[in-house]
Amino acid sequence: MSETDDKIRCDACPVMCYIRPGMTGACDRYANEGGLLVRVDPHVLLDRTLAEGGRVAAFAGASETWSGDIVGGPRHFVTAIGAGTTYPDYKPAPFIVSSQVEGVDMVTVVTEGIYSYCGVKLKIDTDRHLGPECALVRAEGEPVGHITTGEYGSQMLSLGGVNHLTHGGKKEGRVTCQALLDLCNGKPVELSVDGGATVVVEAGKPPIVNGQLEQRMRVGCGSATIGMFARQWFGKVDEVVVVDDHITGVLSEHQAGKLLGARETGIRMKGRRSTPGRYFHVAEPGTGWGGANISDPLEIVAGFNPKHAWPGLTMLMVSTTGEQHAFYRLNAELKPIQEELPESLRVSVERVTENCEPALCSVLFMAGAGGSLRAGVTENPVRLTRSVRAALTTVTAGGAPVYVWPGGGITFMVDVTLLPRNAFGYVPTPAIVAPIEFTMRLDDYAALGGHVEEVRPLAEVLAQREARATNVFVDGVVARSGATK
Amino acid sequence: MSVRAQFATLPDGRRHFHDGPIDLILEASGPLAARAYDAAATRFATILDELCLELPRLRAASGGRPEGVVARRMADAVAPFAESRFLTPMAAVAGAVAEEALAAMTEAAPLTRAYVNNGGDIALHLAPGASFAIGLVARPDRLALFGRARITADDAARGVATSGWRGRSFSLGVADAVTVIAHTASLADAAATLIANAVDLPGHPAIRRAPACSRDPQSDLGQRLVTLAVGSLSGDEIARALASGAREAELWLGRGLIEAAALSLGGRTRLVAADAAPYTLAAPPLSTESRYALG
């Protein structure tokens, strides 16, 4: 355009509007403010009550009883949900909002990050064997991640990441994106592990492994369980075996039994003895007793040494969660014969169960705020990283606290259950869209090269929000907005 | 694929699609709704790019038949009106986009009920027995209803659109809102634009106007005067402006292009419909001396 007036051309979308000073483009989101292209659209303001599962303001209005007051109390936290963004973020972040917090002028820069570099870390509380370490984890048959370390009472899975999102096949990327989105938005996702189990994962809910709802998280490994309950078992039974795929414990040999003066029983365990009373690899991993592939616990007992064992010897076998248990007495041939669990031992077995916490799935969203996203906050992106490092800037995601990884960049993790429901979106790139906010003192913001000219008082944002009813529709109630054209 | 388009699920399960100047709210009911949403998202991702390929033609009142599917929906919708009125395909863009997204949903899955709301221009899908309750809102900044309508599966109407000078697109008239119910969203969109233009008081000193191009250099309206603000109007003036709009609405109703139109100005309303039964309008009494302050 060769005209010499000061209209500017917006390049945020292919409409490529020419925008006159003081006017907005066709979208009403970008405006010409004194020759600068600025972002002006309303966005989601989340107040804390809404965070408890309520609805979010931007599209919630519109019920006929709505008073028009979306602001209400003073506890508004400006979140990035619905703030929108552009990519790459060479334009200032959609909202840079100032408010007074404890008398200090605070600035919150809110944006929605588009993360190609992102994924979820899953902690699945189960002793059942989900699959071998490094095994591929699939959704709808597509590889979306892998099994990683086994941790206390739980199995870790790592899903997503740039390799599945963008380096695999087209379907792989799309399915990965959908699985991440559903997990982050609190929906159940079925995952199958190569050479392992099928597990349904939902944030904050118990996992379902091969169709079986997981109830409890183990109280400890087999050896630890012996240590915890030795005193309660001693004198009531001659031998106790706590069956555990990781570390099976044997009372009579265990340090705890020795200290109590437990008599040798001559039991011979399968697997590899690590230290007295602690056995590794008594069976293969599986979904049976104690996360091993056994349904009959005697499979892990090789026999009894006649030098020490005696007819009538009693033995309790119990899994690490107490969900499975069996009681035996040796016959004249020193073969264990199952009998009903005596009442005196039932209490201790129930106590094992009682001390197992409910099994849950935890979903942590992990993403890195790349240079371009940071550029939306400051003209000098690395200073934002330094500011976060120096704890001058607080990072939140949809208002939820995040853990920021040490090291380079701003790579953070957040518990998805702390964000409002459906706070995550996606773009077909594919990539996940997640809210991120940076909060800092106004003077710190200026010091790190922030877009200070973009700072808008909170009151102004709220006022503008009120003045613009956007699309609203409640069971067919149409409010007109002035959208589109 | 477009990296701009964004897809979000609202807390109540509806979807919000956004790309450039387009914001859609979608809702689908039925066991396979998720499939319908996926299909709509896939279709939506390229719509804006397709439209922008033909923008010069779509902003012109005449020219060859456009190529794109949505562009053709726009051109077809304005054609019956454009014989006697100035109207470019852009007058039906919102409705046409809504229709296109709705078509993607209904082709992908059987749905009992669905809608795509593109900033107040709405395409509806109704399986037998289903219905929608529609609320009519005059001013974007005041969410009070000035009327209601009920659209059932037996009705011919599958489109609703609203136009007025307070909206985001330009109007040549002074109507706060004209909501049109028509067979398709794109027809409703085009008709609402024309009827809102006709709710007018030419030369009235309280109405501030400016050439469209002075506000938006690329407006399809060029030098035509668009309404910027409306001052105080007397009850008589309001009634006269509404009557002018109602004549326009009756013209299109008579030609079978619309099913109904609800006109709102200064708190007064007019309904133009072949069958008034499905509609209720709030029309507060207005004495001739009371003046209704607008804007």
Residue B142: pLDDT band (50, 70, 90) is low
Average pLDDT over residues A163-187: 90
* Residue A28 to residue B119, Cβ atoms within 8 A: no
- pLDDT at site A384: 80
Among the partner-chain residues B5, B93, B115, the one whose CB lies closest to the CB of A484 is B93
- pLDDT at site B283: 45
- pLDDT at site A245: 87
- pLDDT at site B11: 67
* Residue A428 to residue B141, Cβ atoms within 8 A: no
Return the bridge partners of B25, or none: B16, B117
B39 min Cα distance to partner chain A (Å): 12
pLDDT in tens, B188-231: 999 999 999 999 999 999 999 999 888 888 888 889 999 998 98
Average pLDDT over residues A188-217: 92
Who contacts B170 (Cβ-Cβ below 8 Å, separation ≥6)?
B212, B215, B216, B219, B221, B226, B227
pLDDT > 90? residue A158: yes
pLDDT > 50? residue A471: no
Size of interface A-B (CB pairs under 8 A): 195
Q: How much is the pTM? A: 0.49
- How many whole angstroms separate alpha carbon A60 and alpha carbon A459? 20
Which chain A residues are Cβ-neighbours of B142 within 8 angstroms? Answer: 68
pLDDT > 80? residue B170: yes
In A, minimum Cα distance to B12 occurs at: A55
Average pLDDT over residues A54-78: 31
Average pLDDT over residues A402-406: 88
More confident: A239 or B295: A239
Which chain A residues are Cβ-neighbours of B122 within 8 angstroms? Answer: 473, 478
pLDDT in tens, B158-169: 999 988 888 778
Which chain A residues are Cβ-neighbours of B218 within 8 angstroms? Answer: 17-18
User: What percentage of chain B carries pLDDT values higher than 90?
Assistant: 57
pLDDT > 60? residue A396: yes
SS3 sequence, chain A? CCCCCCCEECCCCCCCCEECCCCECCCCCEEEECCEEEECCCCCEEEHHHHCCCCCHHHHCCCCCCCCCCCCCCCEEECCCCCCCCCCCCCCCCEEEEEEECCEEEEEEEEEEEECCEEEEEEEECCCCCCCCCCEEEECCEEEEEEEEEECCEEEEEEECHHHHHHCCHHHHHHHHHHHHHHHCCCCEEEEECCCCEEEECCCCCCEECCEECCECCCCCHHHHHHHHHHHHECCECEEEEECCCEEEECCCCHHHHHHCCCCCCEEECCEEEECCEEECCCCECCCHHHECCCCHHHHEEEECCCCCCCCCEEEEEECCCCCEEEEEECCCCCEEEECCCHHHHHHHHHHHHCCCECCEEEEEEEEECHHHHHCCECCHHHHHHHHHCCCCEEEECCEECEECCCCCEEEEEEHHHCCCCCCEEECCCEEEEEEEEEEEHHHHHHCCECHHHCEEHHHHHHHHHHCCCCEEECCEEECCCCCC
In A, minimum Cα distance to B18 occurs at: A84
pLDDT > 70? residue B235: yes
- pLDDT at site B247: 96
Residue B258: pLDDT band (50, 70, 90) is very high
Average pLDDT over residues A134-158: 94
Between the two ends of chain A, the Cα-to-Cα distance in Å is 21
Report phi then psi at A203, rounded to 5.
Answer: -55, 130
pLDDT in tens, A330-349: 999 999 999 999 998 998 89
pLDDT > 80? residue A77: no
Buried b / exposed e along A220-248 (16+ C-beta atoms within 10 A): bbbbbbbbbbbebbbeebbbbbbbbbbbb
Interface probe with A: pick from B3, B58, B170, most Cβ of A within 10 Å = B3
Out of A224-238, A256-270, A425-439, B113-127, least confident range: A425-439
